[in-house]
Structures are given as structure tokens and as C-alpha cells.
Chains A and B, each alone.
Chain A
């Protein structure tokens, strides 16, 4: 799969034309020992890929809560990637087995509620699979690009109720005014 976005624009759902130049934003929750290291390897091997993904490091997929995914969508992510060690390879022995069940249930429920399953990519990427990470990233980005922005989720809250920007600060810190999210 090519990593240049102009080569991979696909039709949106039901053949509707896409917003020109829409670049999706994906948040990736990955485990430290396998996928994060696999992503490092992709870097060491200079495997170029789409730049739409931001990685959040966790110790293990066992640590990943569906609340993270929901919060990512609430904050404007158009897609999410969840990735960790292959079964039997978990650094902590069984974290990924528990994650597997947790995410199977979450995946099925999300689909029931009407969220397109292509917005959430689950993968097992080991520390030696730099190329696979690149493929997972590119494929996820292409899928989400084709689906279009997931503003629908964020917009479930009316404009004046949802805070635009600014992460909550610890007590005593000024609340940032921050730049508004730029239109894409």
C-alpha cells in the first residue's frame, strides 16, 4: 500500500465524493514491548508511512480501556488504532488475552451502536514487525480517510457546551485559551 495519500483516496460510503484534502487524525494506543518497539523498528528501517497517526504508549494492551477509545473520538479523532503483542508473546504473559476479550466485546458493541468498525483498527504487531506496523498505519489511515471525518461523534454535544480545546490543568494552572482547531 502506497504511503502517499494522493494515491490512495477512495470513495466514501455509498460512493459519495470526499471533502477535498481531508486528512484524518488517528490516535494509536500501543503496547510498549511489542508494537511501540515495532514502530521504532519501522523508523530505524526508514519505512515511510502516512503521518496521520499519533501514538500513545501503554505498558501492555491489557492496560487499554475502551474509555480511551471513546475519549479519543470525543476529542476529535477520526479513527483509532489499538495494537499489541501477538497471543502467547505478551511481555506480561496474559495482558493481551484479557485485552482481546475486552476489545472483542467493545468492537461488537460499537458496531451495534452504529460506529463503522473500520474506524477502529485492532492489530497484533510484534517488535520485529516494522513493516507490518507501516501496513497497519497506512491501511487504517486509508480506511478512515475513505469514511470521512468523524465530526458526528464530537458534534453529539452542542457547540456551546463542548470545550473546544485545552487539556485540564492541575490545580493552580491557568486554563489555556489555545488556538481553535483548524479546519481541515
Chain B
């Protein structure tokens, strides 16, 4: 922790960045903090409650954040992948942000559990099981001790997907239509996603109105499927969308399924190397086309 605070303090003091965005202790857990003064660096923490993906603040459309000046961002491995996504899509240059990487051993499923808890199969975020970047790459600084692997959750996301896929088509349809009938179109999933960066989301386009804005299952189906497709090859699996969803739709199942699809078909795993091209927008002559007559 002191390493993190020292670096943040130094960066703010000598002007390498105007604000350090990281996590701080809050009454009920951890929460994002914007440290603009070197003294504020003492607020910075990193523990298993730091589930938030702070890369969402790098969205160029967040004018109020951009106004603060050059950002130094504290990132876990999954967060760094999101930064790579933004670099890949020309939303910022590598020199526009300072990245302070933290070694991570997994986070809790929710951040508002009071004091930092030891991770158990019941409270660990299921997505941490798939993580391949406990030590983030792409960063300017790397702090923290090497962490042990997180405990295996009771059921991994892949297992839950497999369970769903073992059910017949009609049951899957019933499952998803029921889930999507809950959606109230608050768009929290979109707002918190670091890769949902469009100035004008297609869901807000009215001429023509591809996605019905009403929150019935039909419009919700269109919205959620479209968002999932738009994230194919881009989603970093940070799980924030599901964490934020006020009605508890298991979005991680859908987004992880898309990760599985691009991995299986195109050998693509979302990477924190911005040079690696995204799978959609790329093609190979021998791409599988078994579903095409």
C-alpha cells in the first residue's frame, strides 16, 4: 500500500499527472477516489474490495473527468486490458495516461462488505477464476506483492454457461426471455462499461429506431443482444455490468459466452497488448463457415 501511495504522491507532486484515480476506504467498502493533491495520496488502498473497473473514467466522453487534467489510473490486470481496448480504438494515446498497476489475487464479488475479507469460494468474484493477468502488463509502475491465486468459486462462469447450454433450446429461450423481461433499460451496464464509449449509442438512435426503447422483453432482447454483439472481442470480462445491474440479469454469462465464441472460432483471447488486432474487423481466409450453406 505504501508503495502505491508513494508513487501517487510523487506523480502528483511533480506534475506527471493532475489527478490519481484509484480506490479509497469507504464506510461500507471501497470506492473510487480522485486524488488531486499529493496529500490525498494517503487515501489510496488496494485490497480485495477494489472490484471497480476505473477505466470507465478514461472514456473521452466524460468531459468532467477530462477537465481535471492528465490522469494517473490505478489498474488491475483486467482493467489494463480495457485500457488496451481504448488504445486499440484510438480513444487515447499511451502517453495520455499514467498507469499504476497493482498485483491482484482476485476480488470480492461485491465491494460493500465492510472490512476487507479473505476470499472464499462463496464471496470471490467468479470472473477472477478465468484471469490470466494477475500482474498487469502495459503499466508504467507495478506495485504490490505477488498474490496467490484466488479460490475457485462454487461454480465458475464457464460451468454455468455449460449448464445452460446442456438445457434444450426452449428452456434456454425461456430463461433468457425471463431474464430480459426484468431489464428496465437503465443502461447502467452501458454507463459503467469501459468499452461502451460511443458518443451516441445505437440504442438512442431514433431515425431509424433499430432498438425499441420500451422495456418489454422484445426491446430488451434487442438491446442486450446488440450490446453483447458490440462487445464481441472487446469485452475484458471485468464483470462491472453485472455488478451494476439493479435487477440482477446475469450479463456475465452472455459476455463470457461471446468470449468463448471468439476464442473457439478465432483463437482470440482479449489481450492487454494494444497491437493485437481485435477479431471482429479482422478476418482469415480459412475462417470456419460450417453454418453457411
Contact = CB atoms under 8 A, between A and B. Distances in A.
Q: Determine whether A and B are in direct contact in the complex, meaning some CB atoms lie less than 8 angstroms apart.
A: yes
Interface of A: 13, 66-67, 70-71, 74, 87-88, 94, 97-98, 100-109, 111-117, 121-124, 136, 139, 152-154, 156-158, 161-162, 168
Contact of B165 (A67, A112, A156): A112
Interface string B200-211: 001000001111
Interface stretch (B13-21, B109-117, B184-192, B281-289): B281-289
Interface stretch (B51-59, B72-80, B222-230): B222-230
Contact of B257 (A112, A152, A161): A112
Contacts of A66: 225-226, 229
B289 A109 contact: no
B241 to A, nearest CB: 16
Contact of B280 (A105, A111, A122, A157): A105
Interface in B238-257: 254, 257
A162 B261 contact: no
B293 A121 contact: yes
Interface in B168-226: 169-177, 181, 202, 208-212, 214, 216-219, 221-222, 225-226
A152 B283 contact: no
A113 B281 contact: no
A153 to B, nearest CB: 7
A116 to B, nearest CB: 6
B293 A112 contact: no
Contact of B289 (A87, A106, A113, A154): A87
Interface in B29-87: none
A80 B18 CA distance: 54
Given A104-B287, A108-B265, A109-B228, 9 more contacts: A66-B229, A98-B281, A100-B292, A101-B282, A104-B261, A104-B289, A112-B165, A124-B293, A162-B216
A122 B293 contact: yes
B97 interface: no
B279 interface: yes
A3 B229 CA distance: 36
B217 A116 contact: no
Contact of B285 (A87, A109, A157, A158): A87
Contact of B176 (A88, A104, A114): A114
Contacts of A154: 218
Nearest to B217: A156
Contact of B283 (A13, A67, A97, A153): A97
Nearest to A108: B261
A105 B264 CA distance: 11
B258 interface: yes
Contacts of B266: 101
Nearest to B230: A66
Contacts of B181: 156
A169 B83 CA distance: 42
Nearest to A140: B293
A117 B292 contact: no
Contacts of B172: 112-114
B138 interface: no
Contacts of A67: 202, 210-211, 222, 226
A124 B292 contact: yes
Nearest to A67: B210
B124 interface: no
